[in-house]
Chain A
Amino acid sequence: MSARIWSVAELIGEVNAALAGGFGEVWVRGELSGVKVAASGHRYFQVKDAQANLSCAMWARSADRLRFKLTDGLAVLLRGRLEVYPQRGALQLIVEEAVPEGVGELQLAFEQLKAKLASDGLFAPERKRPLPALPQRLGLVTSSSGAAVRDVLKVLSRFQRLQVLLYPVRVQGRGAEGEIARAVRWFGASRRVDIVLVVRGGGSLEDLWAFNEEMVARAIAACPVPVISGVGHETDTTIADFVADLRAATPTQAAEIVVAQLEEQDRRVSEAQESIAAAIERRLERSRLRLAGLEGARGLARLPLRLRELDERLRRLAALPPLLRAVVVARHRRLDGAAARLFHWPVRFGAPRRRELVTARIAIAGERLRALLRRRSVQLTGLDRALGALSPVAVLERGYSITTREGTDAALRDAASVAAGERLLTRLARGTVRSLVVGREPAGQGTLFDEGGPGTGNREPGKNPTGSRGARRRHE
Chain B
Amino acid sequence: MSKETFEEALAQLEEVVAKLEDSSVGLEEALKLFERGVKLARRCRTQLDSVERRVEQLLAESPEGEPGATVPFEEEQE
Contact = CB atoms under 8 A, between A and B. Distances in A.
A160 interface: yes
Contact of B53 (A163, A186, A276): A163
A316 B28 contact: yes
Contacts of A167: 58, 67
Contact of B51 (A163, A279, A313, A334): A163
B52 A163 contact: yes
A347 interface: yes
A466 interface: no
A85 interface: no
B20 A275 contact: yes
A412 interface: no
A276 B37 contact: yes
Given A269-B41, A279-B17, A194 B3 contact: yes
Interface string A227-254: 0000000000000000000000000000
A280 B30 contact: yes
A149 to B, nearest CB: 8
Contacts of A150: 76
Nearest to B47: A134
A368 to B, nearest CB: 13
B67 to A, nearest CB: 7
B66 A345 contact: no
Contacts of B34: 276, 279-280, 320
Given A133-B7, A165-B70, A330-B42, A347 B28 contact: no
Given A153-B75, A268-B14, A330-B42, A165 B35 contact: no
B10 A265 contact: yes
A132 interface: yes
Nearest to B43: A269
A324 interface: yes
A345 B50 CA distance: 18
A327 B38 contact: yes
A361 to B, nearest CB: 12
B14 A313 contact: no
A273 B38 CA distance: 7
B63 interface: no
Interface in A121-177: 132-134, 136-137, 144, 150, 153-154, 160-168
Given A134-B6, A269-B44, A283-B30, A162 B51 contact: yes
B40 to A, nearest CB: 8
Contacts of A475: 26
Contacts of B77: 347
Interface in A408-422: none
B32 to A, nearest CB: 8
A160 B59 CA distance: 24
A279 B21 contact: yes
Contacts of B38: 276, 323-324, 327
B28 to A, nearest CB: 7
A274 to B, nearest CB: 9
Contacts of A317: 31
A266 interface: yes
A177 B70 CA distance: 22
A164 B6 CA distance: 20
Interface in B1-40: 3-4, 6-7, 10, 13-14, 16-17, 20-21, 23, 25-28, 30-31, 34-35, 37-38, 40
A132 B3 contact: yes
B64 interface: no
A272 interface: yes
Contacts of B6: 133-134, 265
Given A133-B7, A283-B27, A327-B38, A334 B49 contact: yes
A279 B18 CA distance: 10
Contacts of A186: 58, 66-67
A164 B55 contact: yes
Given A266-B48, A334-B49, 5 more contacts: A134-B6, A265-B6, A276-B17, A320-B35, A327-B42
Query: Which 8 pairs show the lowest CB-CB distances between chains A and B?
Result: A279-B20, A276-B37, A133-B7, A136-B51, A269-B44, A166-B57, A275-B17, A164-B55
